[in-house]
A and B are shown apart, each in its own frame.
Chain A
Amino acid sequence: MNLTGKPNPVSAYLNTRVTLFSSRLWPAESLNKLIETPAEEMGATLGAHDLPQLAAGFDSLDNRSLEQRIIAQLLEETTVLIRPLSGVERDFLTYWTERFEVSNLKTLLRGKMTGERPAALLNRLTPMGSFGRVDINDLAHAEDVNELLRRLEAGPYAAIVRQARRAFEESHDPFILDAALDRSYYEGLAQRARPLETAAGLSFRCLMGGLIDRINLVWLLRYRFNYNLPPSQVYFLLVDSHYSLGSMRLRELAAQTRLEDILAALPTPLRASMEGVTEIPQVFTRMERAAAASAQQVLRSSAPAIARAFAYLLLRERDLRAVRAVLRGRLLSLPTADIRLAMYQTLEGNA
């Protein structure tokens, strides 16, 4: 079905493509098996799960190369999914990939703050292929943060960067720069999701709500208790949201001084899922698990194709990060139990 609810060839194509892709997802037992797979079978196992990018040279990849290959794999699959799309649907999925580029920009900004050389910086960036919107080679040769920010302001990230630059010039605090970039990115995502929520219905809203609420709650806890920021600053740094954690609720949560008070002030369904939680990492785990379950449900349902495609991409990224944890653990020759723990933490607590 398309956005107006009528069946069309684009939706049929996308639905079929998502169904085919969903067979690539890793059930928990496959990931468990991967930990103990003999080294000589590893390449074939990864290849069998349609991970050619990881299968080649998996035993010699450092963390950065692994991350780059995972992102390359995700970008490749997104390219296939957006092929038949146009308008707001295409715009949304394309924007979803831009967070990798925003991450590149943050690496560039941090690199410029520490005076890292362009070649070393370029080596750490993720190639964005056809999704790239900026010339990273040119940006890497900027002399300092101010020059970099001014160059970015003249490009496609002007809207995201302008406010961040003003804030950075006032405070010279790299945290503010990162926080402003992240917040602007997710607000842009929520904006692009709005027309789809109206048209693609509850399933899409559910996925977006899960994502933005999770990000807001995780940031709120982090800013409030790890960085000890005052409530008003915490609230200002959160994503403007119209999901279950709306503006009023976020202000109320940010004003609390203890974790248990925050959890008690959550809306009912979220509060119920936090039963028995006493530490911040447990909050991340519970929310990640709930988001994954919700994405699984959307993927298995007859939801609109765009919602299923988005659910697939969320789950695929989660899986690939778990695979990365396994490969990293094996490369470092960690004990199986430690790798398993790292893998589960990645699956359930990667906020």
Chain B
Amino acid sequence: MFRAEPLVKIRLLLLASEAPDAALELARFGIYSPAQHAPAALAEKPAEAYREAWLEAESRVAKLAERCGGLPELSIPQGVAAPTLSDLEELNTWLKEVWNACLAAHESEASIQEEVRHLDALQDTLNKLERLDVDLTQLLRPNGLLAVNIGSLPAASVKRMGEALSMTGSLLYMFDTVGDQAYAVIAGPRERHREVVGLLAQAGWRELPVPQELCAHPHAARSCLLEERKRVESRASAECTAMDNLRGTYRSGLEEARLRVALGRPLAEAAIAGVRGHGALASLSGWIPRRCKKELKAALEARFHGQYWLNLEDPQASEARQVPSLVNYPQWLLPFVPLVKSYGIPRYGEFDPSLLFALTYLLLFGAMFGDVGHGGVILFLAVLLYRKLGRAAWVGIAAGVASMGFGLLYGSVFGYEDLITPVWLSPLHEPTRILTVAILFGIGFITFTLLANSYNQFNAGHIGAALFDSTGLAGLLFYLGATASIIGLANLYRLADFSQLAWGMALLGISMVAIFKWVETRASFGERVLVTAIETLETGINLFANTLSFMRVAAFSLNHVALALAVFTIANGLGTTGHWLTIVLGNVIIIVLEGGIVAIQALRLMYFEGFSRFFSGDGTEFVPLKLAGAK
């Protein structure tokens, strides 16, 4: 819980043909995170073609599943083997056939829909066609002097088409517009009709089939259109049946294909980082938890019967930055983990601050927003929205409880300070005490962060920085010495008696920091002097500025009372209805506005006064290969 689990580097060498099963076996465990550290001799990427074929199959299965709909939840039985490359290629060929069949049906559906829209448009334009001041019998005569086309084209192209047609001696007359389509009649000399046809093809022209009846008796076209609509409807119904048949025919095959794609996923995903090879050999490399060594060996032995070479070794110190972090958190801590990860992932071997974060965040939130009533409202809302917020609701529940707890300590209920007796103190009546407590908490918190940083630096092998840097033990010595000296000067907590010792500690600490900075700076003499002086000075200023930053904890607890007082003052000047309305609205504003600000301030204190001092946050997350739907 406090640091990442020890990992070992895994290199599994086996026949390339068995790589899919090996990846599947590793994915079944859910403990293997692929990474590239195969020997240089294995430079080929044997799983690349596999990944390519898998991606195609996966994309087709996803599209078909979307079209088919209602596929049962995927379930992967034990003992099944992963598909080989040739299996995937075969599957791809089958999926392509199925997709083409579906696509043809889909295209047919689309064309029916388009035809229906076309008929609707034709119905609309029929009246206009009837009113065209031309003799259609003459106009559409196949052996006439004029070649005539009636149809539609994109409305945006009408002007340009008219101009282009004028170059062939033809005319365009637009008689209707539906959506982005314009309906037009084109007439021109028959000898240049071939040129016009080429031009129409470029423009996406769609010919309107004008029924023969329309030529002789335009009003008869309506019944003709009705006939056409009936025909399209019966075609649509036939297509629906065909589509249902297709679904029925391919359904079981599609379920099988989905299973195979799921079984192929581990190698396809491992191929990105962890699979190299040479000739007929493939190597899967990555990281697994040290505790799983025996279990993994046994599983591989059972599956491959010694036909493999497995190498497991601890990471070298120089590899620490490449090792991913796997931290096992207890369930109750999980809601807080995303808040830590939004700052960064702990490096391998680094102190994981999630537990510290959860406890301190709640403590700070409660201390700044201590009120039994307001905390109760937050708790109630978090419970109410539990389904919507999921695990994150627990952060709200815990914050509400913390707020209620501090409300009891402060004796505050919805801003009323006189309903219950404070168990500890009332911030309004004892502001100096609460300020002192906040600063003492800050001193404790910063001391902890300096210790945590020293621990991290020791673990990373940076002994010098752990001992002598401003955020190491020397910095801590200076900080504690200087803090004790200042408290001694104020003659508090009887520290004046230790004044000399404290000043000595501070001087020794800051001197060590200065020497360390001097040694570490690689620059000209002048620049070294400057860097050492500024960075040493900065050490002192930063530590104390950060300590004073914790005064905001006390300030916000006072602010909470002050806001409530302001609401009461306004409410008391109003009548009964106005009074209670103001009280309710005022409390809503306090919860939303101040609650939000306090939540952010607590986060800010954790990130900037805490994490920035000891938590690098530039680690890599351990992402194991997993098998979706595994039983």
**Footprint of B on A, CB under 8 Å?**
117-119, 141, 143-144, 146-147, 150, 162-167, 169-171, 173, 176, 179-180, 229-233, 235-237, 240, 247, 251, 254-255
Contact = CB atoms under 8 A, between A and B. Distances in A.
B313 interface: no
Contact of B167 (A141, A147, A165, A232): A232
B113 to A, nearest CB: 12
B160 interface: yes
A38 B52 CA distance: 40
A166 B110 CA distance: 13
A240 B154 contact: no
B94 interface: no
Nearest to A150: B110
Nearest to A251: B167
Contacts of B200: 170
Contact of B55 (A118, A230, A233): A118
Interface string B489-504: 0000000000000000
Nearest to B92: A117
A152 to B, nearest CB: 15
Given A232-B164, A233-B202, A236-B199, A166 B96 contact: no
Contacts, number: 88
A163 B157 contact: yes
Contact of A235 (B107, B110, B164, B198): B164
Nearest to B169: A232
B interface, size bucket: 35 or more
A173 B202 CA distance: 9
A230 B166 CA distance: 13
B56 A141 contact: yes
B201 A235 contact: no
Nearest to A146: B107
A108 to B, nearest CB: 14
Nearest to A235: B164
A176 B199 CA distance: 11
B280 interface: no
B195 A232 contact: yes
A196 to B, nearest CB: 22
Query: Which 9 pairs across A and B sit closest by C-beta, in order of nearness?
Result: A166-B204, A141-B59, A236-B164, A232-B167, A119-B52, A167-B204, A171-B201, A232-B164, A230-B195
Interface in B146-175: 154, 156-157, 159-161, 163-168
A110 B331 CA distance: 53
A201 B559 CA distance: 58
A251 B168 CA distance: 11
A4 B159 CA distance: 33
Question: Which residue among B167, B198, B202 has the maximum number of chain A CB atoms within 10 Å of its CB?
Answer: B202
Interface string B56-84: 10011000000000000000000000000
B348 interface: no
A279 to B, nearest CB: 26
Nearest to B154: A163
Contacts of B165: 232
Contact of A117 (B52, B166, B180): B52
A119 B107 CA distance: 26
Nearest to A169: B204
Contacts of A236: 160-161, 164, 199, 202-203
Given A163-B156, A255-B167, A118 B56 contact: yes
Contacts of A233: 164, 195, 198-199, 202
Contacts of A167: 201-204
Contacts of A163: 154, 156-157, 203-204
A199 to B, nearest CB: 25
Contact of B205 (A170, A180, A230, A237): A170
Interface string B197-236: 0111111111000000000000000000000000000000
Question: Which residue among B100, B157, B201, B206 has the maximum number of chain A CB atoms within 10 Å of its CB?
Answer: B201
B103 interface: yes
A180 B203 CA distance: 9
A282 to B, nearest CB: 27
A94 B404 CA distance: 53
B154 A232 contact: no
Contact of B56 (A117, A162, A235, A255): A117
B365 to A, nearest CB: 37
B29 interface: no
B607 interface: no
22 contacts: A118-B55, A143-B99, A150-B110, A162-B180, A163-B156, A170-B205, A171-B201, A176-B202, A230-B198, A230-B199, A231-B167, A232-B165, A232-B167, A232-B195, A232-B199, A236-B160, A236-B161, A236-B164, A236-B202, A236-B203, A240-B160, A255-B167
A89 B202 CA distance: 32
